[in-house]
Structure 1
């Protein structure tokens, strides 16, 4: 009876699978030592039908070269493909050196009996290694004396110097090889072309300069760094060249680029940061008294250029600051028209320098830094709010008791482990900072103490319930007082309130430092602060009057009439009225601020233009800007990094006055000079490494000159990238944001 096609397909499939399973079984036995040697290199595979997917044939694949053969006769395939040298990767027929074979040790024939020898002989027949060696030329001693020999495998090499001798032994063998073949050369590493090597040198030197002392030039001489460069094919580099000719050339290149940008600008603003020292809780230079004043130039197009660094020691008199700033203005103008400098923004509030320069040069607008103003507000709270003083003094008592008494510290650490899985002292200021007791001036430096106590609140509450603490309370009045403070829930509520307000102001200050707002943003910033302070008062049940009084006092100290004028003239803040016009927000100003706008505008123009400028201001107040242009200026887009909505084109405000509002001849000149001014002086931040370098080598003219050039290059690069943070702050952020856990995991993985 004829078979159906489906049945025939099924039979052929079964046959293919049976053949494949059989070959696979044979190969697995051979690998275990119970079959032919060639199965180590030949592997059965199924070939499938492309249409149906069913297996249609069995092939043998050479694992050395991936060639396919018929599976009908594996022995013949092995002889033709492997033994005859057809496979390019099979080296079994090549003679091996004697050192690659096991050590042969003769055995006395009298010690062997015939059955044992026979048994040994049979076992060798079943050994797959023996079959594999059958196809290779064997040492004569091994062929003729195989019945009377035993195989002894070499033991690990033991050297008198331990494992460290292996490197020296390798060098010895390399020397022997070189002597055997004098003409032979070691395999060369990667070789860079001249242009590639020069590019590598430039990138390396730029990184060193822009790290600005963070990486020592002496690191170039480190053996592992040299080895690293050698592996990359980079020729050796001299630190003298990096600190000498190459530094000079790079400095001139950056300086020329900066000067070209400065020449293109019609006017500029000088920014000066560093006059007011910024002591840090853990700064290693607080005792040195060294400080760096960075002077930069802000251009109307939004770019900033570094000018120079001035190193100061201790307190700087006001007249020195005034002379330095005016000398910088003259140097930037290079003997030209000093009216190109339309103002200065600096961080020193109490100095008369800014006021003197502004009164002597009527076209200038000299501002105090808003970042510094908000930070000073925290000191004001510490000085003028009894709540801040009370909380600070109580926290210092707690910290001193638990840090200074060993028997209490043990109980506190036990509670910390239980609650936080870590232990540590409460951070406090050094004694020299608190010799006169608590004051508002040092309140910002006491904030870490408050933060630590809040973070360990539960551990402190457990510690005071310990028997050792109760015993101390019966003897020490201060310990009893501390126990009462910790047990009072009112204290914790007040501590939370103080930390909340401090964080509120610090957060706004950090945003100011990062975003560097323009002068027109000052009034909205302070209004935002007032709103948040009112919300804080309601949340923590604090009387608004006293806190608002502190805020207003600081506002008046920082206020400048240019805040109001820029707020009115900047199209960014135009408000749409009922008729559809976009008009300046005069209704947001007080009467005094409106008068300030008139006074400032008349001061910034010539006497002949004063009345014209005021008439144009009245027209601006009544007509405003074309709605389409006003909307275009105010277009916002989401910042991909922060997620906040920001102005899409910050330059639009100035460009509108220079183009579609060109009929305002006098007022326009004031507007374009006002609305681009920065309200913060934060710029290049010097790292501790460079300050240490200056402190050590400041007496050397050459050392100071090199430091100035490196600072110039580094600052230019940072300002170009709009990177206003220091390396120390970046490292602190890295470990503060939980990424230290990731790093720890990496370290653990490497150690394992």
Structure 2
């Protein structure tokens, strides 16, 4: 199924390159098989790229098939949507107009060119006239009808314009580049080498209007190939809010499954009250466009308006579940532990965890004292290649990332404060310099940092695991249980206590984690965990001794039954599904096969259900959808990084609609580049080109804060850098 999907996308994209050989635009949407006649034109055997059915006929039948023209002896294509058909009709009308204009003599063309005052085409025509020998030869040349070669060159120019525009959109280049004389000169030289003299690259206006609209239409057609798999794969809708450089509030919507994130739209909410009813109305519109039966869940952050909107959607569409973003939830738990609030409600947590806040305050004080003085910073850089991170509180796991870096530079800080240069340049603030030195040389200070990093590492690893655009909904519950067990063990080991003894710190931490875990344990999480065939194997239970089997866990069983009651309202069907589920969990009945049992631990869950789930089709369909879903809305937050890259302070004159078109094209070009072999070089320098592109920096000269952001937001990018032997210095920057 995956390979067929990739081939379909490659067919739709690859066909665009064939415009160099074709005149009529609708040939792009069919595959020529063979010609049944040696005569020019004539009958051709072709296959439609949409319905995949073979037909025989000339171009008129291709047009009738795709545009639903009756009376041509060929049936309409059932897979061409209304929007796509309208776009193809517009292309055909434009082609017919161009074809009609080709009948005008070249003398008329020359006159129109001189009136338009186009510099490059004017110079080209004048050079052609100078090279002609006599007036008679000139007249014959100017009055000649356009040849097939001329028409091919026109098609090639259109295709070249589209490729240049695609480069702008995919890389986020400013349209002002099109005004540069060097930009024009490069493509003028290329055009001369390609024997298409007089070619002018796309203009500023064309790039931001016509070509942008055409490229969005082209991508929407290609995305239909991915959307065709949504009924079987299911999809998650994620949404998040942001404000552009002009403080206009925006809400984005992205559809994601194991194919990757697909940008749908961003809504300009200027002048609107973003309450739960308004957000719910936007959600409902997107659900209707995507297809109610295709949506498995909606993921947002934990804001009260988003939560209320999600509950409204569950009431309106019982088979769709709202789930909070797992990354946000874990990060809130970490923030409650590392920076507890001094309120009556959180008094116990504050009493037990306030010492962590004091350690963080000392770290920030040392960092500011060093970095806010140029000479002290220069002294520090003599000892360390690693820099001190300035991470804003809105970053995920900001406290832990700061402490991890501080631990790495501990030895360099100690060398700095005992050096002769430190004594010479501390006279501007001797009291604080003495405090910094005492703190840096205090072993108990570093012991506290070690303890914080040790017991928060499982939480940090949870964020790293959930902050991905890969399926992981079925792993949320067991990973929470395992992380809490590791945290308890770390605290009890540090305090040298036995398991049956009481630990006030663990009680405080456990209360925070348990509250957040319940938010991440919904009926959808429970059914996803239950559908994982590995959970019933002895190997998995040995690796996760603290996680009960799903059929023995009372909380999971209750939530699983709640899900089945909502998803299967018919009593008879639900009883049948429950019987199949019981056989699956107990490895009995149709799931008692020896191969089925053995391959539970060796095969990926989706592959196992494909091979062994045919006897329980309803469960197989659930597994095919649910096991492909993500657990966080991180992709919607990363989308704002793309927005900020494209709609930056330097490009703040972009209208919301044009910015949305640019983000749509940019984001989905990145998605499609990973789905086609021609555009992705997994082993070369172009791997993950689109991830680093939004940072607008060279990977060998990354700013530390930007790389720290990427280390959590773009785990694939960090993974590539950290395993690249050539990036030794960068790999030391971030663990």
Q: After TM superposition, is the score higher than 0.5?
A: yes
- Alignment partner of 1:368 is 2:328: no
Q: Summarize the Cα distance change of 1:241–1:611 in structure 2 as closer, same or farther, 3 Å threshold.
A: same
Q: Is the 8 A contact 2:610 2:620 kept in 1?
A: no
1:311-710 alignment runs, 5 A limit = 311=268, 316-333=274-291, 338-348=292-302, 350=304, 351-384=307-340, 385-403=353-371, 410=375, 412-413=376-377, 415-420=379-384, 428=390, 444-445=397-398, 450=403, 453-465=406-418, 478-499=432-453, 505-514=459-468, 516-534=470-488, 536-537=490-491, 544-575=506-537, 586=549, 589-609=552-572, 610-624=574-588, 625=591, 626-629=593-596, 631=598, 635=602, 647=604, 651-653=606-608, 655-656=610-611, 659-662=614-617, 670-683=622-635, 685-686=638-639, 690-691=643-644, 694=647, 703-710=655-662
- Alignment partner of 1:307 is 2:264: yes
Q: How far is the alpha carbon of 1:216 from its aligned partner?
A: 0.5
User: 2 CA distance for matches of 1:294 and 1:618?
Assistant: 40
Deviations along 1:145-169, one digit per CA (max 9) or x if unpaired, are: xxxxxxxxxxxxxxxxxxxxxxxxx
Q: Summarize the Cα distance change of 1:527–1:738 in structure 2 as closer, same or farther, 3 Å threshold.
A: closer
User: 1 CA distance for matches of 2:426 and 2:162?
Assistant: 66
RMSD: 4.6
2:175 alignment partner in structure 1: 217
1:156 alignment partner in structure 2: none
Q: How far is the alpha carbon of 1:693 from its aligned partner?
A: 5.8
1:72-151 alignment runs, 5 A limit = none
Deviations along 1:248-282, one digit per CA (max 9) or x if unpaired, are: 2221122133345435543633421424x6xxxxx
User: 1 CA distance for matches of 2:453 and 2:699?
Assistant: 20
1:154-165 alignment runs, 5 A limit = none
Greater relative contact order (CA < 8 Å, ≥ 6 in sequence): 2
Q: Summarize the Cα distance change of 1:290–1:588 in structure 2 as closer, same or farther, 3 Å threshold.
A: farther
Q: Summarize the Cα distance change of 1:719–1:316 in structure 2 as closer, same or farther, 3 Å threshold.
A: farther
Q: Is the 8 A contact 2:299 2:633 kept in 1?
A: yes
Q: How far is the alpha carbon of 1:421 from its aligned partner?
A: 6.4
Deviations along 1:473-492, one digit per CA (max 9) or x if unpaired, are: 99865554433322211111
Q: Which has the larger radius of gyration?
A: 1
1:256 alignment partner in structure 2: 221
Deviations along 1:645-701, one digit per CA (max 9) or x if unpaired, are: xx4xx6425535763423xx5x5565555433332333363465743764779998x
TM-score with structure 1 length normalisation?
0.57
Q: How far is the alpha carbon of 1:452 from its aligned partner?
A: 5.7
Q: Is the 8 A contact 1:497 1:540 kept in 2?
A: yes
User: 1 CA distance for matches of 2:269 and 2:700?
Assistant: 31
Q: How far is the alpha carbon of 1:595 from its aligned partner?
A: 1.5
Q: How far is the alpha carbon of 1:456 from its aligned partner?
A: 4.2
Q: How far is the alpha carbon of 1:508 from its aligned partner?
A: 4.2
Q: Is the 8 A contact 1:697 1:703 kept in 2?
A: no
Residue correspondences, number: 509
User: 2 CA distance for matches of 1:536 and 1:286?
Assistant: 43
Unaligned runs of 5+ in 2: 1-126, 134-149, 193-198, 341-352, 497-504, 541-546, 675-687, 703-720, 730-735
Unaligned runs of 5+ in 1: 1-177, 185-190, 278-284, 434-439, 579-583, 637-646, 746-752
Q: Is the 8 A contact 2:551 2:557 kept in 1?
A: no
Deviations along 1:370-401, one digit per CA (max 9) or x if unpaired, are: 23333333323323433421211111222344
Moved more, 226-235 or 532-541: 532-541
Please give the secondary structure, in 1, of the residue aligned with 2:655.
helix
Please give the secondary structure, in 1, of the residue aligned with 2:630.
coil
Q: Is the 8 A contact 1:383 1:441 kept in 2?
A: no
TM-score with structure 2 length normalisation?
0.58
Q: How far is the alpha carbon of 1:566 from its aligned partner?
A: 1.8
Deviations along 1:230-256, one digit per CA (max 9) or x if unpaired, are: 232273212322222222222112213
Q: How far is the alpha carbon of 1:210 from its aligned partner?
A: 2.0
User: 2 CA distance for matches of 1:307 and 1:195?
Assistant: 31
